[in-house]
Amino acid sequence: MMDRRQWIRAAGLAGVAAAAPSPLSPSLSALTQRGAAPGPLGLPRARNLIFFALDGTGFEDLATASHFSERVLGRPFFFREFLRRGASSGAMFTHSLTAVVTDSAAASTAWSTGRKVVNGALCMYPDGRPLRPILDLAREAGRATGLATTTRITHATPAGWIARVADRDQEDDIALQYLEFQPEVLLGGGAAHFLARSRRDRRDLVAEFRARGYDVVRSRRELLNSAGDRILGLFTDGTSHVPYEIDRRFQGVDTPSLAEMAGAALARLQEAPRGFVLQVEAGRIDHANHENDPGGMIWEWMAADETLRLLVDFVDRTPGTLLFVAADHDTGGGTVYGFGDNYLSSTPALLTVQRQRMSLQRFRSRLGRNPDLALLPEAVREFLGFDPTPDQVERMGRVLKGEASFGHPTAHSGDLNSLAAVLWEIPKGRVDRPNLAFSTGNHTAGTVPVALYGTGLTPAPLGVVDNTQLFSWMLEALGLSFSNPEMSEAEALEILARRGEEGEPRFRHPFD
């Protein structure tokens, strides 16, 4: 089998042969950069723009979340109501400049600059050329700006709208670029990159934000009580993300919900004299999918759906506001599958997800490395909602001790993927397990949902678009015109090849 290095050579992408037509061209380049642009949509001019990013989720999850909400919780799924109210919707290709599967950094950059980059980079080409992101353009046009997310605030999806760095892991630099940029609202997790004791340069960014007039809040209560009109919210210590919704709801973890963060952001930005651009991110659907955690994923979606309702209500009472809703890529490739005669068992099996009361991640860390096997069945019953078979308990024990792996564990969440593979299998004749199968612990190349909604927008199918298209639509809505520099896939691969980076992608981060 050819390795990637040989393949790039064979494709004529290294050195002088780069100009020759390459076998890569039809696959990626055809849809890259200018290729897929359907042109202006005829969007109404928007004073305010809200972009609701759903990280790491695709059409299968949309259906799963919808069925769970309506059939299990008996609650209307607001996303459907959103479509009924006249949202324009479609699907989106997500590949990055040099890979069919994107990471969140390249995906966020595609939205915010209209250009594809190499996975891992934020608003920067591999030769160091920076790209101008949407919030920079919006601010120049007088808009207030904000970011609110359930991940670390310096994580890739929010960062891609302000920061320009070669590597998404430069989160100390990203925090510093936020300080220089001074968006009105920054809400999320991960205080480490703002605190003197954990920053490499020992700068106290919290003090520096305060000196620039920010109210810095560290808890849900402080957020809800804050009267500051510029706000920095850091809701978790260290490099932690905001805890999972399933743990917030059922394990008493005290943290603001995504809807509360979005509400706090809007309360401040709606006062902006010349309008605003706000990115709100449901950032951890992705993480639950990386971990192959059905209850984790579904409750992140429930929190996202509740947030969507809040955003749509805001749009309905605030003329001149346009709402974008888009997933950046799918993660996990999870599907609810049919089983039983006429698939009649597939619905009750979905009902069992309701009995899951803890994220798989929290469950794993509670059990520790060397749990008493006799206690495992009770732990599974109490927190995951079903009785494991003796065989499952035995295999769980081996996974927890690091002695075995099952399914398709990835470098990301290896033992969690293994644990999921053991736990979510359905023994013959049983219907009391979630019938949700994941195909990977990584991202996938699948197309994802995209939708637009707002004052004066005529509902129309968006078709299947490229992720870079959303930049053009945002510019159109804001009445702006701008074009970032271009780079071809071949050029990028050549630069990477010169640097010797065309081999196996580096593994650096638990959650790409």
- In the complex, the smallest distance separating the C-beta of residue 12 from Zn ion, rounded to whole angstroms, is 32
* Residue 245 is a binding residue for Zn ion (CB under 5 A): no
Residue 104 bears catalytic tag: yes
Q: What are the beta bridge partners of residue 50?
A: 278, 323
Owner of token pair 């691969």: 493
Token digits of residue 284: 């951890």
Backbone phi and psi for residue 283, each to the nearest 5 degrees, phi listed first: -90, -10
Choose one: 47-55, 65-73, 219-227, 289-297; the region binding Zn ion (CB under 5 A).
47-55
The CA distance from 281 to 157, in Å, is: 8
Taking the alpha carbons at both ends of the chain, their separation in whole angstroms is 27
Query: Which of 60, 328, 489, 502 touches Zn ion by CB under 5 A?
Result: 328
User: Helix-strand-coil percent breakdown of the chain, rounded to 5?
Assistant: 40, 15, 45
Task: Give CA angle at 120 (257, 96), nearest 5°.
Answer: 100
- In the complex, the smallest distance separating the C-beta of residue 371 from Zn ion, rounded to whole angstroms, is 32
* Residue 136 is a binding residue for Zn ion (CB under 5 A): no
Question: In a 3-state reduction of DSSP, which class is residue 469?
Answer: helix
The 8-class DSSP code of residue 70 comes to I
Smaller CB separation from Zn ion, 156 or 264: 156
- Residues 260 and 224 sit within 8 Å (Cβ to Cβ): yes
Stretch 187-206 residues interacting with Zn ion (CB under 5 A): none
* Residue 55 is a binding residue for Zn ion (CB under 5 A): yes
* Residue 102 is a binding residue for Zn ion (CB under 5 A): no
Choose one: 102-110, 136-144, 266-274, 342-350; the region binding Zn ion (CB under 5 A).
102-110
* Residue 33 is a binding residue for Zn ion (CB under 5 A): no
- In the complex, the smallest distance separating the C-beta of residue 400 from Zn ion, rounded to whole angstroms, is 28
Token digits of residue 10: 């064979």
Owner of token pair 């019953």: 381
Token digits of residue 455: 């004052």
- In the complex, the smallest distance separating the C-beta of residue 269 from Zn ion, rounded to whole angstroms, is 24
Distances (CA, A) of 398 to 297, 321, 368, 415: 25, 53, 12, 10
Residue nearest to Zn ion (CB): 104
Smaller CB separation from Zn ion, 173 or 328: 328
Token digits of residue 318: 């605030």
Choose one: 52-60, 134-142, 167-175, 421-429; the region binding Zn ion (CB under 5 A).
52-60
The 8-class DSSP code of residue 326 comes to E
In the stretch 275-294, what mask flags binding to Zn ion with x, by CB under 5 A?
Answer: -----------x--------
- In the complex, the smallest distance separating the C-beta of residue 122 from Zn ion, rounded to whole angstroms, is 12
- Residues 235 and 188 sit within 8 Å (Cβ to Cβ): yes
Task: Give CA angle at 261 (256, 262), nearest 5°.
Answer: 150
Smaller CB separation from Zn ion, 286 or 489: 286
Backbone phi and psi for residue 403, each to the nearest 5 degrees, phi listed first: -100, -10
Active-site pick, 88, 96, 104, 359? 104
Smaller CB separation from Zn ion, 326 or 379: 326
* Residue 104 is a binding residue for Zn ion (CB under 5 A): yes
Size, binding site for Zn ion by CB under 5 A: 5
Token digits of residue 225: 């009580």
Q: What are the beta bridge partners of residue 444?
A: 330
- In the complex, the smallest distance separating the C-beta of residue 61 from Zn ion, rounded to whole angstroms, is 13
Smaller CB separation from Zn ion, 286 or 415: 286
Smaller CB separation from Zn ion, 10 or 100: 100
Smaller CB separation from Zn ion, 113 or 356: 113
Smaller CB separation from Zn ion, 331 or 435: 331
The CA distance from 216 to 197, in Å, is: 17
The CA distance from 132 to 115, in Å, is: 10
Sign of the Cα pseudo-torsion (484, 490, 494, 496, in order): positive
Choose one: 104-112, 242-250, 368-376, 446-454; the region binding Zn ion (CB under 5 A).
104-112
- In the complex, the smallest distance separating the C-beta of residue 430 from Zn ion, rounded to whole angstroms, is 34
- In the complex, the smallest distance separating the C-beta of residue 329 from Zn ion, rounded to whole angstroms, is 6
Binding-site ranges for Zn ion (CB under 5 A) = 55-56, 104, 286, 328
- Which sequence positions are flagged as catalytic? 104
